[in-house]
Amino acid sequence: MIKRAATAILTVLALAAVAGCSESAPSAGQLVMGAPASPSMQVMAQIYAGALRHAGSAVSMTVPRGTYRSLLDDMDATTVDLFPAFSGRLLAELAPQSAPPTADAVYTELNRSLPQGVSVGDATTVSATPQVFVAASVADRGGVTALADCARLSPGLPLVVVGAPDGPTVDALSAAGCRFGPVESVPSTSAVVRRVAGGGAVGLLTPLDVAGDDAEGVSGDIRALTAPKSAKDDGASGTAETSPSRSTHEAAPNGDEELATGPRAEQLVPVYRTAALSRDQVKTVNKVAGEMTTADLATLARKAAAGEPAAVLANGWLAEHGL
């Protein structure tokens, strides 16, 4: 009797150990989504995972985290099959000297620069292209609405950024004619907005930083300096509220592109291991590109940063968009 009881206990423990392993490691045949550690990228990985699951694919519940470089290494080791990325940042990792002038050119160059066996899916409209922001009062008073108007700003205004300054971006702004003062680092987007709104500084933010449900009041206090446009594009200049999805390097209508000077375009794209996804699975992933917006992802990322589970947020978004 004692021997049977001991055998039963050992059996239960063995089953528990197997169950524990199955939760921490993907099963054979499951797709694995990876992601950088930021809330926005964690949510996007779950959105791609959820879309594939809803279409009938087996997808691991685990989402390995890493840098772009380490995630590409994981793809080479076939332990990660897809991860979300911003096109310009990934291209900077792969080809630091490359400086494509438009968002489309960044996408094309990224395709060329990816390692063999790695592909990029359709770009979303989500933009994280760095933009210069000024106080609304400064923009209205001095007619400063575009990046080309940098010379009209008071010389030496501090450039306020979140965290460490990005050298190539600061250099690109200098090349565009902006003559800013020292770069000042602050801990949050709201800190940048407060400094800029007072008129004593300019800020460097992205559309993703200032979009979303929690960005009320931002577009009224500060304005983004728009990128150069083709002469054929006579649309009105955008603001932080009206043009979050347009990149700093823009494609003009009719396929004409102006060679603009400014920060490298950053569009959200899915990067995947070519052999891991079927044609139908790639189509499923690409459906996300037609639905995801900068404002959507900004709202989801803020909720994830506040502690809401990324998977729950992703499933809610997928349900709303019929994916």
The residue from 255, 275, 294 where one domain ends is 255
Answer yes or no: is 260 within a domain: no
pLDDT of residue 4: 44
Answer yes or no: is 16 within a domain: no
Q: What is the CATH number of the domain that holds 147?
A: 3.40.190.120
**The one-letter amino acid at 105:** A
**What is the residue range of 150's domain?**
131-255
Pairwise CA distance, residues 303 & 298, whole Å = 9
Answer yes or no: is 137 within a domain: yes
User: Are 144 and 211 contained in the same domain?
Assistant: yes
User: Are 49 and 66 contained in the same domain?
Assistant: yes
Q: What is the CATH number of the domain that holds 305?
A: 3.40.190.10
| Total domains, the chain | 2
pLDDT of residue 251: 36
Pairwise CA distance, residues 96 & 171, whole Å = 14
Instruction: Give the N- to C-terminal CA distance of the chain in Å, as an integer.
Output: 55
Answer yes or no: is 261 within a domain: no
Q: Give me 243's structure tokens.
A: 């043009």
User: Are 109 and 87 contained in the same domain?
Assistant: yes
Per-residue pLDDT tens digits for 116-173: 999 999 999 999 999 999 998 888 887 888 888 888 888 889 999 998 877 888 888 8
pLDDT of residue 26: 53
Work out the average pLDDT over 106-110. 94
Residue that is written with structure tokens 């506040």 in the block: 306
- Contact (CB, 8 A) for 224 and 240: yes
pLDDT bin (cut points 50, 70, 90) of residue 220 is low
The residue from 213, 228, 255 where one domain ends is 255
Length of the chain: 323
Beta strands in 168-259 (DSSP E): 183-186, 202-205, 222-224
- Contact (CB, 8 A) for 261 and 279: no
